[in-house]
Amino acid sequence: MSKLTTYRTPGYDDEPPRSPQLSTDDDDDTGMHPRDLDDSFAVMEASRIPKPDRNSIPNHGGEVTALKPSILHCWPLLFGLLYLAGTGFGVSKLVKAGWIDPEYGNATYAQYREDSVIGESCRGVDHAVPWRELKRKLKRCRRHEYYDPMHDDCHLCPAATPEDKIFAVFWETQKDCTRLVEDLSTRYVTHVMWSFAEPLDDGTINTKLQFWDDEHIRDCIGQLRMRCIKSMIAVGGASFRERFLPLKSPDNLARFTATAVQLVQLYDFDGIDIDDETGNMVATGGNWLKSHGPTVVSYLTALREGLDAVQHPDEPRYLLSWDEFPYAWDPPQPDNANYVGCIRYTEGEDGWHRCYEPRISNLVDFVNVMFYNINGGEAVYRAVIEDTLPNKAASVIPKDKIVVGACCGMGCVTLQPPGQEVFNAGNGSAYYKGTMLWSSTIDILYENSSSTHRMGRAGNYGVKMPFRMPPP
């Protein structure tokens, strides 16, 4: 670096300090201030700290150990996961308890928003009743009572009479029952058969139904009970028909009875519908009546006794019903080459024919005739309604226990004659105990409830709710 030269008078350091003067508009002189010697460029340059030589820096590489990550360093994540899990669990509990109302899609509780349960239009209610409040009040009512919002109390449903007519509809539990509860066609419905509870190989009945949320099904049952519509659990179905055969075992029968009663109490059902669709099969030796008939009598008797044992003295009796094929009353004709009747069986095949067991009639409250399980065309339908039911079936079953079934759309095994469901509903109301529809799920979801409306009007069905004077 070249030597720097400072240009200043020799007596600069001896000069007295100068006082600054205020400048004026006419004064162009710039006031000068003495500067500190330490601020001079030369001093600053000379006092600069020299940078160390890169080669002179000591190497400590051998003394420092690199940090290696391990699973032990993930422990803070555990607290985060616990926090997220706890938050999710808490929110789910709040949603299920009704404190949080999810507003997305077809949410389980979305149909119970304040504007769709009980609104201000009801004279006895001065505010919209959210589902949380209504559910709490419904739980105060017993199985034979309904909650009356006008009087804010539980009132008795109409007592059963011999003149009452049944309009039973099957609802498949894998579908959201909100559609059933909200549909206007339920004004004609008296009984809902929730289908199906699955019997297992050891006789145990699975208490978990097909819908993802059992509590939601209980909520729907509570809503239907506000209109005194009874709910029954249908056990079995065509898919599980072979599961009834092991009930010959006393141990399996005991498990079947105990879990059936438990299922009724768990959901607060009004009874059980047995859909045992076994027939003249390989497992029954081609003779259902002889092989499986006694088993049916045994488990129906056990169910009847089990339901009676848990019934409260001041409540109505639990219901028990049976589903039967329409040709079960065809008399055996072994010499008839065209049709041998209810004993029909093809060797090596699991058939759908069987002969009715007369002892069933005294064990059940009513028999649902699966009128839609018919092959043969319109003439066969006419023969069943004109001959089989009034003459053959009625000879072993009281007419006030016969419920004439019908089907709609995809629920029919084969195409039924046009208007057959209306014809069956009218005959069921006029001459028998009532009618039944398989299935309301298909009718409501895919056919705009057309069959339910037509059948309900044809037979003048529906629960006749009691009239109560408004409170003063």
Q: Which CATH number fits domain 166-459: 3.40.50.10470, 3.40.50.970, 3.30.200.210, 3.20.20.80?
A: 3.20.20.80
Section 242-250 average pLDDT:
98
| Sign of CA pseudo-dihedral 423, 428, 434, 438 | negative
Of the candidates 429, 363, 353, the one whose C-alpha atom is nearest the C-alpha of residue 397 is: 363
Q: What is the pLDDT of residue 221?
A: 95
Q: Where are the domains of the chain?
A: 166-459
pLDDT, tens only, 355-411: 999 999 999 999 999 988 888 789 999 999 999 999 999 999 999 999 999 999 888
pLDDT at residue 1 is higher than 70: no
CB 416 within 8 A of CB 402: no
Q: What is the pLDDT of residue 413?
A: 82
Helix, strand, or coil here: 149?
A: coil
For residues 251 and 358, what is the distance between their CA atoms, to the nearest angstrom? 26
pLDDT, tens only, 64-104: 566 677 777 777 888 888 889 898 888 777 765 555 555 54
Q: What is the pLDDT of residue 376?
A: 77
Residues above pLDDT 90, as percent of the chain: 63
Lowest mean pLDDT among 123-137, 184-198, 443-457: 123-137
For residues 11 and 177, what is the distance between their CA atoms, to the nearest angstrom? 107
CB 442 within 8 A of CB 448: no
pLDDT, tens only, 181-197: 999 999 999 999 999 99
pLDDT, tens only, 353-368: 999 999 999 999 999 9
Element (H, E) at 193: strand 191-197
Q: What is the pLDDT of residue 16?
A: 55
Lowest mean pLDDT among 25-39, 51-65, 283-297: 25-39
Element (H, E) at 315: none
pTM above 0.95, yes or no: no
How many CA atoms does the CB half-sphere of 460 hold within 13 Å? 5
CB 282 within 8 A of CB 350: yes
DSSP codes joined into one string, 94-146: HHHHTSS---STT-TTGGGSGGGSB-TTSTT-SS-B-HHHHHHHHTTS-TTEE
pLDDT at residue 15 is higher than 50: yes
